[in-house]
Amino acid sequence: MKKFSWKINHISTNTNARTGEIITPHGKIKTPAFIFCATKAALKSFSTIQAKENNTQIILSNTYHLMLQPGSELIAKHGGLHNFMNWKGPMLTDSGGFQIFSLGHGSVADEIKGRSSVKRNKSLLSINEEGSLFQSYIDGSFKLLSPEKSIEVQRDIGADLILVFDECTPFHVDKSYTDISMKRSHRWAIRSLNRFNLNLKYKAGFGSSGEQKLYGIIQGGIYEDLREESIDFNLNKIDNFGIAIGGSLGSSKDEMYKVVNYTALKLGNKHPIHLLGIGDPNDIWTLVKSGIDTFDCVSPTRLARHGSALIKGKKGKLNIKNKLFSEDLLPIDKDCNCPTCLNYSLAYLHHLFKADELLGLQLITSHNIYFMNNLMNIIRNAIDNDNLEQAEKQWFS
Ligand SMILES: [Zn+2]
């Protein structure tokens, strides 16, 4: 049996939605799938054992944060991040490029969605052909993150799926900068691939946990001609297992849907397609129809920490801290089979938040993780049964 493979099982008759399977040495990912962010090797208030119990298929971690703390060498000594954090399933790492962007230009989420161009404290010192020079937020030391360094760190970490090093361009830059940055990211992708294939510390294409596969990243911002150039580069000039859609996706939901749709259509069926940093359930229902296979976002666990539980319907979430729930004996969702909904009332969860009890964060995180995995399961079944549109209507009714 192949250690890695990708296949499409079914393509919807009315849309480009598809179900498939990504096989990795650490198990199978049924797609479309949601990838949970364990940025610093932790799902915040939730263990990997609990994540598995809540049907989680795959998690991701962050190259930039882990290289600064605890350092990738310590992770490699454990035989990779799988052992370090006791996650036996599939894993992805980003390349650190996303953080270059967030350090240099402001809030990542705001920028990707075109909401802001607010400058933040700049620990990014420069981006040039060599890579990105920045100051560590841990000890103030100067660090260079280059394509080669990013791949070396990702080989130490040992995730199954790893990303080429890129600059994630913000919304507020013009077409000329987006073009320059895209071409540089393409050169960085070639350098990433060359280092990936080199037999240095580990066997070529292997990380500390074993064999790995590389994802390329489509750049080009909101400009269709640049996206096409990046698609051509990734499909025809470089050999990657998977392809991620990165960069700015515009200033509105409609623009994001448009950019993702024409990009995914042109990418076709040869590779699994990952959409970087998007994970709102409303967006997922729309974007699976363009053929997106995997999504990632910090939102399910971040919302939980702020007291928001995800629910079906247009509203999308409940604010557990709302006084409305102070005497509500029902669970978050009476149809949900997560450990939180099976065992605890809204009034109890409300009390935990009012009393600043950390258990509240854990219980809502548990529900939100289960909720996202259940959502993806419903979507996969609906695609296989060719009733995605009815399932979507039912979800929002
Ligand atoms: Zn639940």
Annotate the chain with three-state secondary structure: CCCCEEEEEEECCCCCCEEEEEEECCEEEEECEEEEECCCCCECCECHHHHHHCCCCEEEEEHHHHHHCCCHHHHHHCCCHHHHCCCCCCEEEECCHHHHHHHHHCCHHHHHCCCCCCCCCCCEEEECCCCEEEECCCCCCEEEECHHHHHHHHHHHCCCEEECCCCCCCCCCCHHHHHHHHHHHHHHHHHHHHHHHCCCCCCCCEECCEECEEEEEECCCCCHHHHHHHHHHHHHHCCCCEEEECCCCCCCHHHHHHHHHHHHHHHCCCCCEEECCCCCHHHHHHHHHHCCCEEEECHHHHHHHCCEEECCCCCCEEECCCHHHCCCCCCCCCCCCCHHHHHCCHHHHHHHHHCCCCHHHHHHHHHHHHHHHHHHHHHHHHHHCCCHHHHHHHHHC
Query: Across all residues in the chain, what is the average pLDDT?
Result: 93
**Contact 89/27 with Cβ under 8 angstroms?**
yes
**Contact 291/18 with Cβ under 8 angstroms?**
yes
Measured in Å, residue 310 CA sits from the centre of ligand 1 at: 9
Mean pLDDT lowest for which of 90-94, 121-125, 250-254, 286-290? Answer: 121-125
Mean pLDDT calculated for residue range 369-380: 98
Percent of the chain with pLDDT over 90: 84
CATH of 34-297, one of 2.60.40.10, 1.50.10.100, 3.30.200.20, 3.20.20.105: 3.20.20.105
Check residue 2 and give its pLDDT.
62
Check residue 121 and give its pLDDT.
46
Measured in Å, residue 127 CA sits from the centre of ligand 1 at: 44
Measured in Å, residue 373 CA sits from the centre of ligand 1 at: 11
Mean pLDDT calculated for residue range 297-309: 96
Give CA–CA dist 214/91, Å, rounded.
Answer: 12
Measured in Å, residue 370 CA sits from the centre of ligand 1 at: 7
Mean pLDDT calculated for residue range 132-159: 92
Check residue 55 and give its pLDDT.
97
Check residue 127 and give its pLDDT.
87
Closest CA to 311 of 339, 335, 279, 344: 335
Mean pLDDT calculated for residue range 198-204: 93
Q: How far is the CA of 308 from the CAs of 11, 50, 333, in angstroms? A: 34, 19, 13
Hunting for tokens 């448009």 — which residue is that? 258
Mean pLDDT lowest for which of 96-110, 179-193, 207-221, 373-387? Answer: 96-110
Give CA–CA dist 18/12, Å, rounded.
Answer: 6
Instruction: State the span(s) of the chain assigned CATH 3.20.20.105.
Output: 34-297
Which amino acid is located at 379 in the chain?
Answer: I
Task: Please check the confidence at residue 41 and state whether its pLDDT lies above 50.
Answer: yes
Mean pLDDT calculated for residue range 360-385: 98
Give me the active site residues, please.
94, 296
Check residue 138 and give its pLDDT.
86
Confidence of residue 122 (pLDDT cuts 50, 70, 90): low
**Contact 156/208 with Cβ under 8 angstroms?**
yes
Check residue 140 and give its pLDDT.
87
Measured in Å, residue 319 CA sits from the centre of ligand 1 at: 14
Closest CA to 8 of 244, 270, 296: 270
Task: Please check the confidence at residue 1 and state whether its pLDDT lies above 60.
Answer: no
Give CA–CA dist 220/206, Å, rounded.
Answer: 30
Mean pLDDT lowest for which of 42-56, 129-143, 148-162, 188-202? Answer: 129-143
Measured in Å, residue 317 CA sits from the centre of ligand 1 at: 12
Q: Which residues fall within 8 angstroms of residue 128, CB to CB, at 6 or more apart?
A: none
Neighbours of ion ligand 1 (CB under 5 A): 336, 338, 341, 367
Hunting for tokens 């623009």 — which residue is that? 255
Give CA–CA dist 357/351, Å, rounded.
Answer: 8
Measured in Å, residue 347 CA sits from the centre of ligand 1 at: 14
pLDDT tens digits, 222-235:
999 999 999 999 99
Measured in Å, residue 354 CA sits from the centre of ligand 1 at: 20
Check residue 135 and give its pLDDT.
84
Check residue 149 and give its pLDDT.
96
Measured in Å, residue 44 CA sits from the centre of ligand 1 at: 18
Closest CA to 147 of 105, 80, 100, 104: 100
Check residue 109 and give its pLDDT.
47
